[in-house]
Amino acid sequence: MTSNREAIVAVLRRGGKVLVIRRGPEARRPGYWAPLSGTIEPGESQSDALVREVREEVGLEVAPSAKVWESSTDDGSFVLHWWTAEAEPGEVVPDPGEVSETQWVTPEEFLAMVPIFEGDREFFERILPTL
């Protein structure tokens, strides 16, 4: 068992775009643009964590599709489990502590945003186009 904590990354898709957030004042690494993510609670499955985190952070209901990638945070403190999910129709209602802005973007639009994490750049450049 490693000391790394585990988190999910929610790749929420709707009409060819992915939901990204600017991390809010209470989030780790505030100000970064990134897909939604959150820590997996003890005893919680990855898909359950995905549904809970999305509901808490932006108020959407989602249907988890599949785990598509695994990576680590740049500081090595978290193992990230990347899941695709379809967002149900509905309005994005951000949690103001966790999320300061939201945007539905194409991969190309995301890659032009600043700042973003290198691991997210790799996902959007290399993994997402194959899905």
Indicate the domain borders of the chain. 5-130
Q: Spell out the per-residue pLDDT of the chain, length 131, in tens.
A: 445 799 999 999 988 899 999 999 999 999 999 999 999 999 999 999 999 999 999 999 999 999 999 999 989 999 999 999 998 889 999 999 999 999 999 999 999 999 999 999 999 999 999 98
DSSP state of 130: G
Helix, strand or coil, per DSSP, at residue 31? coil
Architecture of domain 5-130: Alpha-Beta Complex (3.90)
Residue 12 CB neighbours (<10 A): 23
Task: Determine the Cα–Cα distance for residues 102 and 93; give it in Å rounded to an integer.
Answer: 9
Q: What is the pTM of this model?
A: 0.93
